[in-house]
Amino acid sequence: MTDVKVFLDESELPRQWYNILADLPTPMKPPLHPATGEPINPEDLAPVFPMNLIEQEVASDRWIDIPEPVLEKYALWRPTPLYRAKNFEKFLDAPVKIYYKNEGVSPPGSHKPNTAVAQAYYNKVFGIKRISTETGAGQWGSALSMACQMFGLQCRVFMVRVSYDQKPYRRLMMATWGAECVPSPSNITEVGKKILEEHPDSPGSLGIAISEAIEDAVGDENARYSLGSVLNHVLLHQTIIGLEAQKQLEKIGEYPDVVMGCAGGGSNFAGICLPFVRDKIHGKEVSIVAAEPTSCPTMTRGPYAYDFGDLAKTTPLLPMHTLGHDFVPPPIHAGGLRYHGMAPIISHLLKEKLIEARGFNQIDTFTAGVNWARTEGFIPAPETNHVIAAVVQEAQKAKEEGKEKVILFNWSGHGIIDLAAYDAFLSGKLTQYELPEEEIERALKSLEGLPKP
Amino acid sequence: MIVDLEIRCPKLGHQVKFDYCEKEQISLPCKRIIKCWQIYFPVEIYLKKKLTEEEWNRCFNEKPKEKILTLLELIDAAKRRKEKKGQSKDKL
């Protein structure tokens, strides 16, 4: 039997995070304050972040030391094992070796605590007593709840009402770790009260929850706000994933041809890929692929040009799927379809063509996830299924091209608390549904007279 | 049929129905609604009929802001609300 896992000793845990800003061939432009037109001043962010984290947000040092108390907490589940997915390789029957970092071994079951623990620590040493945040399904809220408990901080999580009702288990995890989980909109904040007055049955949204979490922190000297993705310091903390993977692959004499991660806000993707982007900048041949959710690429009813370039604003217009025989919906500015939550660093790397992005629909992703669970055993988080779908695609490509490939990806979390999503898939509720042609024709007929592009 | 269908929301991380996406920004749909739903029905055409041009542009054609700029706006808005609340208390 050959080895399935590659371990690092705790003594081999990386002692520094990697900051990609030091190596970018084209520097990122600093965001300008909308009121002054000048680059943002650290003081502008001081009401919501402690200054030590603001310093990390704008830091240009290549390596940033991981504080000892953070390493001590990391050691509870890090270094995470690097697995070789031999059963999935066999299932795919393609000339590929598939390695993955199992971030599902952390206490909350995802990569999120890599930054939650660091953020809680920096808030603690800055003298903060309480942290507020927002969450959807609760992956971030639960990770921060655990991290706050580890450093003796209070934690208040504004959970989107519809998620609060649908996802009781992560809410209970937050409570178990001592956090206060509040359905949003709430009566705690002015913004929440106003929304409830006008819309008592509001299901909430991430936009409302973030407004509440910020209001909760602003003006309270003892409180700050915490964000689990997108920002530079969050991506910085996640680089421990890729740094460990590099050490583990080096131990077995491998280097990946392709590095992959799923990209929502960009933090777990950044975690696995940024150290490899550094290698690429310095001449290594490696493809780096972000897998993002979309329903669009599989559209079959007409010519369709899907372009993730909207993320990097490389295409001013996004051509839309054509419906019917002579009807072409008017184009929409690409920016309008852009996912507003994507990390600027990831957008920048995309624009610089250092990484590429591919979209996968929910049926392909769940199919890949179920096949994974049936071969490798572990049930992936639904988000993780996107990257597994990307791995399947890459393996098929390798088979078609007759090329051997080494694939590395980030298995960002387990799906044990997301089994309702699997139930929806397995019971056919997520079946790819398209309106029958005649219904579309009827719908379009009823819209005759609308301006044509 | 569409009203009963659930798809996975990539922002929240669980299933939602179309009516949630349609009101995600209270008076406006989620900015991702076309990307997520277009495969199921011509949602773009449906929304063009439903929204005013101004609402359409606000939802789909505004240049997205960087998160950090959104945070600055939310900080300012929160400060204003707290000041207003403080003034109301003073009057009492």
Provide the residue ranges of all domains of chain A, joining segments of one domain with +.
24-61+113-227, 240-426
Give contacts of B1 with chain A, Cβ < 8 Å: 433, 435
pLDDT of the residue at B3: 66
pLDDT of the residue at A127: 98
Give contacts of B3 with chain A, Cβ < 8 Å: none
Which residue would you say has higher pLDDT here, B5 or A61? A61
Cβ pair A295:B64 closer than 8 A: no
Give CA separation, A151 vs A76, A106, A154, A157, A428, in Å. Answer: 14, 17, 9, 17, 44
Q: Nearest by CB to A421, which of B14, B79, B82?
A: B14
Establish whether the linkage from the previous residue to A297 is cis, with ω within 30° of 0: no
Give contacts of A264 with chain B, Cβ < 8 Å: 10-11
Cα–Cα distance for residue pair A193/A274, rounded to 1 Å:
41
**Cα end-to-end span (Å), chain B:** 53
**Domains in chain B: how many in total?**
2
Residues B51, B88 share a domain: no
Q: Which domain holds residue B85?
A: 65-92
Counting beta carbons within 10 angstroms of the beta carbon of residue A152, is it exposed (0 to 12), middle (13 to 18) or buried (19 or more)? exposed
Determine contact: A247 vs chain B, CB below 8 A. no
A391 Rama sector, left if φ>0, alpha if ψ -120 to 50, beta otherwise: alpha
pLDDT of the residue at A1: 85
pLDDT of the residue at B1: 57
Would the CA dihedral through B69, B75, B78, B83 be positive or negative? negative
Residues B24, B45 share a domain: yes
CB A226 within 8 A of CB A132: yes
Given CATH 3.40.50.1100, say whether it is the number of domain A240-426. yes
Cβ pair A34:B72 closer than 8 A: yes
pLDDT of the residue at A340: 46
Q: What is the mean pLDDT of residues B22-42?
A: 88
Residues B57, B28 share a domain: yes
ipTM field: 0.93
Cβ pair A421:B8 closer than 8 A: yes
Residue in A with minimal Cα distance to B63: A335
Residues B34, B14 share a domain: yes
Cβ pair A332:B34 closer than 8 A: yes
Residues B69, B57 share a domain: no
Residue A430 dihedral angles phi and psi, to the nearest 5°: -95, 15
Given CATH 3.40.50.1100, say whether it is the number of domain A24-61+113-227. yes
pLDDT of the residue at B61: 86
Give contacts of B45 with chain A, Cβ < 8 Å: 323, 329, 443-444, 447, 450
Name residue A288's beta-bridge partners: A259
Cβ pair B36:A338 closer than 8 A: no
Intrachain domains A24-61+113-227 and A240-426 with the same fold: yes
Residues of chain A with pLDDT under 70: 295-341, 431-453
- Could you tell me which of A236, A132, A110 has the C-alpha nearest to residue A184? A132
pLDDT of the residue at A438: 62
Q: Nearest by CB to B79, which of A31, A191, A218?
A: A218
Q: What are the DSSP calls for A237-288, one per residue? A: HHTHHHHHHHHHHHHTT---SEEEEE-SSSHHHHHHHHHHHHHHHTT---EE
Residues B54, B26 share a domain: yes
CB pairs under 8 A between A and B: 197
Residues B88, B48 share a domain: no
Q: How many helices (H) and strands (E) does chain A have?
A: 19, 15
How many Cβ atoms from other residues are within 10 Å of residue B90's Cβ? 7
- The pTM assigned to this predicted structure is 0.89
Give contacts of A445 with chain B, Cβ < 8 Å: none
Cα–Cα distance for residue pair A190/A175, rounded to 1 Å:
24
Cβ pair A424:B15 closer than 8 A: yes
pLDDT of the residue at A445: 56
Cα–Cα distance for residue pair A55/A49, rounded to 1 Å:
10
